[in-house]
Structure 1
C-alpha cells in the first residue's frame, strides 16, 4: 500500500562549522558503552500538511543546520581506538561537524488516516519505511551519523521520523534538541538567542578514561535472527481521569506512609498485571518489569536537568506470575516503586566501578517474560511546531523492538498518556478485549 520513494539523501552540517575552532572530544562512561550494541531508538511525529507555498525541505535543513551548531555532538562521529598493547578498544565522540543524515521521501498514496488507522487497529507495518535508521546499531556511529532524519510527504500530511545513537544522548537530551530545532524553524530565531549547550561534563572519580574494553566485547556477534512476525503493536490511551483512579487505587492498597506511588508507577503496574494475566504463563515463572530512568537529579552532586548526554539507568522489579496474579495493583506498583527508589547515586556509581573491572556489553536481546517501559510522558512531544501546526500523533519506529516493549508518550490532550505496546499477536488480542484492563485504558 505504501509506495515510499526516496527523493534525496543528503548530509546536513552545523551552520558555519569551522574545523579550526576547536573540536570537542567526549569520553564515554560505562552507561554510554552499555548501549554499544543497541539499535538506534526511533520515533516519529505526524503533522498536518504545510501550505503549498512553504519551502519545506529548505526550511527544515537550514534550521537543522542552526540547531546542530548548538547541539554539536550529534553532528560528530564515534571513534574507535584499538589498543594493541593489551588487545582492547576505546571509544569517544569526536565533535568534528561531519553532519547528519537527512532523507526526503514521498508516499503520496498514504493519508494521515492510514497512519492513524481505524479504531482498535494495530500500528501499520508500512510505517517502518518512514524511519531513517532501521537496524543501525550504536557501534556503527563510526561511519553512520549519530542522528538521522526522514521527512516523508503524505497525501495530506507529513511524517518526520528520526533515530539517534543512545551512546550520545538519551530521550531527555534528544527532545531538548528537537524542541530547539522546531522553535528555530518556526520563529527564525538565531542560535545566539539560545543558551550554549551544557555538556554532561561528568565522570567518576577513580575511573580512568578512555575506558578500555576487550575487543571481543566491541564486536557484534552473529545472532540467529528470530522472526518478529508474530509481534504486533497498538497504542493505548489512558486518560487523566483514569490515571488519577489508578494512582488513587494503588496508593490506597499500599500500607506505607513513606512510599507514594506515582502516576507512571501505577500505570506501569496496570499494564504489567494486565499483560501477565493474558500471557498464559505458569505460576512459578519469573517475570520482570524494567524501567529506564533519568538519573540526572539522583546523582551527587546532581546534574542540571538540561545537561546533554546519556544519563539513564535501569530499574528492574522481579517477581513470579503466581505472586503477581494473587496480589493487587498496589502490590505490583509498590514493587516498581521500591526498585525505582533503589536507583541511588551510590548504586549508580557502584555499577560503574564494578563494570570497568570486567566490561560486558549486552546484546540487548529482550529477557523472556519481561516488559520494558521506555520514554517518558513528560517529554515535550506535542509542543513541536515547525511553522505549519503541531503534531497530530507520535509513533515509535523500529529499534530495540521486542515482546513487552512499552513506549510511553504524553497524550495529545494535556494530562493523558499514550503507550505504544509491542506484544505477541495472541497476547495483544487478548489484552484488547480484557474488560478489567479496558476499565482504565482504550485503543487509540
Structure 2
C-alpha cells in the first residue's frame, strides 16, 4: 500500500493584472546551458499541522498565483529551436504564463516524526521521493514540463511542501527569494504592489552572441540513466558551538581567515575520504557551487533573479587531505573559493561557447558534483529556509529530494537554531556505516534532528 495518495493535479498560472510585465524571452547563458541535462533541483519544507478549519490548498494556490506574477519566469516554458544550417539547437525561456504544476497529496499514515527521526537516522528514500514532484526529470525537458512544480502533502500531523525547479531558470539564492515572497503573500495577504519588480541580470551576455548554438548531439537525452540502489542519506548537524570550535581549530593550524562553513566542509571532506579506503596517492576532489553575484564586476544585486553560480573544484590527494589536518584542508577550500573572480567567470563562458560541454544526461549533475573520489556541495547556510511561514507556523525541517542524491553529495542548510549548519549527506551504505561510527568525525557532529 502506498503511503502517498495523489488527490489532485492542477496548473497554477500567474494572476492576471493590467500593469504586469509583458511576456519576455530570456536567452540562456553558458552557465544555464551547462545544466541542460541536470536533474531538477528538489527541496522541501516540513511544517506543523495547520488549523483544521484552514483551507491551505486554496490559500497556497491563490498566493502562488500572485507570487508567479512577480516571479514570472517560473510560469514560462523552455523553447528549443533546431538550426538545420549547422545541426545545432538553441534554447530560451518563453515567459508566456503557461503556469506551474501543483500537486495536492495525502499521506495520513506518515507522521512528522517519521520524517524527522527515521530508523538509525537514515532517511527512507522510497518514502521521501513520494513527497517531491518531477522525479527523474531533466532541465531540458522544460519544453513540456513546467519549470517549477509544487507538491503539498498533508501528513497525519503536519504538511510537507516539496518542489522541483529547473536549474537553468534559477539558483538557490533566487529560488528562496521567491519562496519567501510566496509565503509572505500567503501569510499576510499582501499583494504584488508591496514587492519590488523582478531584477534580471541582462548585462552579463555582453560579448557573447545569442541565442547560443549547441550541437544537437549534446542535447539528446540518454535512454539509460544510472540510479544507485546502495545510497543512504543522513542529516549531520553542527551546532553553533561545534562550528565555532572547528573554525577556531582550522585557523589555529594555518595563517588565514577560514570561515565556519569552510571548516565544517573540510571536516566532512576529511572524514568521508578517510572512510572510503582509497589509495593514498589517488587524486580526490571537493566540488562546490557558489553564488557569483557580488563577485562580478560590476556586481549584481543579491536579489537579482537567475542562475548565477560558479563551479569550484578543490584538488588534492587522499594522503594530503587525511594527513595534513583540518586547517590545511580548509585552506585549500578557502583558496579555491577566493580565486573565483569576474574574469574567471567570463573566461569560462567565452570558452564554453566555443566548445559547448553539457553534463552527461546519464548522470545529470551527479557526474560533476560527486563520485567515489569526490564530494559535491550545494546549498548554503545563508538561505533563509526557516523564515518561511505560510500562516500556520515556521518550518520544522528541510530536506532535499531524491533527484539530487548521489554518492558524496552534500546539501547544506541553515539549522533551526542560529549559527547551526545541517548537511544532508548521500553516501554508499558501507561508507555511511563507517562514517556514522567514526569517533573523530562525531566529536563535532550530531546525527539527526534537534528537538
TM-score normalised by the shorter chain: which range applies?
over 0.9
Structure 2 stretches lacking a partner, 5+ long: none
Are 1:380 and 2:381 an aligned pair? no
Choose which of 263, 267, 271 in structure 2 pairs with 1:270: 267
Q: Distance in 1 between matches of 2:19 and 2:91?
A: 21
Give, in whole Å, the separation in 2 of the partners of 1:19 and 1:414: 40
Map 1:414-429; keep pairs closer than 5 Å.
Answer: 414-429=418-433
For each residue in 1:335-391, what CA deviation from the matched residue of structure 2 results, as whole angstroms up to 9, or x when unmatched?
Answer: 111111111111111111111011111113244411011100000100111000011
SS at match of 2:79: strand
Q: Find the residue that maps to 1:348 and give its secondary structure.
A: helix
SS at match of 1:273: helix
Does the CA-based 8 Å contact 1:59-1:185 persist in structure 2?
yes
Pairing 1:81–2:81 present:
yes
Return the offset for 1:84: 1.1
Is the 8 Å Cα contact of residues 187 and 389 (structure 2) preserved in structure 1?
yes
Counterpart of 2:280 in structure 1 is 283
- Give the SS at the match of 1:351: helix
Counterparts in 2 of 1:92-171, with a 5 A limit?
92-118=92-118, 120-125=120-125, 126-171=127-172
1:234 aligns with 2:234: yes
Q: Which residue of 1 aligns with 2:446?
A: 442
Aligned equivalent of 1:371: 375
Shift of 1:221: 2.5
TM-score by length of 2: 0.95
SS in 2 for 1:180: helix
The structure-2 alpha-carbon separation of the partners of 1:171 and 1:265, relative to structure 1 and needing over 3 Å to count, comes to same
Give the drift of 1:21: 6.2
- Which shifted more, 366-375 or 25-34? 366-375
Q: How does 1:166-315 map to 2 (within 5 A)?
A: 166-223=167-224, 225-255=225-255, 259-315=256-312
Measured against aligned partners, the alpha-carbon deviations of 1:190-248 in whole angstroms (never above 9, x if no partner) come to 1111111111222333210110111111111234x444221100001000011011011
Aligned counterpart, 1:406 = 410
CA distance in 2, matches of 1:175, 1:71: 12
Q: 1:298 to 1:143 in 2, by over 3 A?
A: same
Aligned equivalents of 1:194, 1:236: Cα separation in 2: 36
Q: Distance in 1 between matches of 2:138 and 2:207?
A: 30
2:156 and 2:207 map into 1 onto residues whose CA distance is: 57
* In 1: Cα distance, 2:20 partner to 2:199 partner: 21
Asked if 1 retains the 8 angstrom alpha-carbon contact of 2:377 and 2:410, the reply is: yes
Residues in 1 aligned to 2:20 and 2:60: alpha-carbon distance in whole angstroms? 27
Structure 2 CA distance for aligned equivalents of residues 329 and 119 of structure 1: 31
Q: Secondary structure at the match of 2:264?
A: helix
Aligned CA RMSD, in angstroms, stands at: 1.4
Tell me if 1:324 matches 2:321: yes
CA offset at residue 22 of structure 1? 2.5
Give, in whole Å, the separation in 2 of the partners of 1:162 and 1:20.
25
- 1:318-346 deviation line (CA, Å, top 9, x unaligned): 11111211110000001111111111111
**Counterpart secondary structure, 1:130:** coil
Does structure 1 retain, via aligned residues, the 8 Å contact 2:132–2:163? yes
Cα shift readout 1:110-146 (whole Å, capped 9, x = no counterpart):
1111111257420122011000110010000001000
Counterparts of 1:379 and 1:251, CA distance in 2: 25
1:53-76 residue CA offsets vs partner (Å, 9 max, x unmatched): 101110000000000000000000
Match of residue 394 from structure 1: 398
Distance in structure 2 (CA, Å) of the matches to 1:203 and 1:253: 39
The whole-number CA distance in structure 2 between the counterparts of 1:166 and 1:399 is 12
Contact kept, 8 Å, 1:2 with 1:110, in 2: the verdict is no
Q: Is the 8 Å Cα contact of residues 42 and 404 (structure 2) preserved in structure 1?
A: no
Q: Distance in 2 between matches of 1:75 and 1:302?
A: 27
3-state SS, counterpart of residue 203 of structure 2: coil
Do the aligned partners of 2:37 and 2:358 also contact (CA within 8 Å) in 1? Answer: yes
Alpha-carbon shift at residue 17 of structure 1 (Å): 6.0
Q: Report how many residues are paired.
A: 440
Q: Say whether 1:340 aligns with 2:334.
A: no
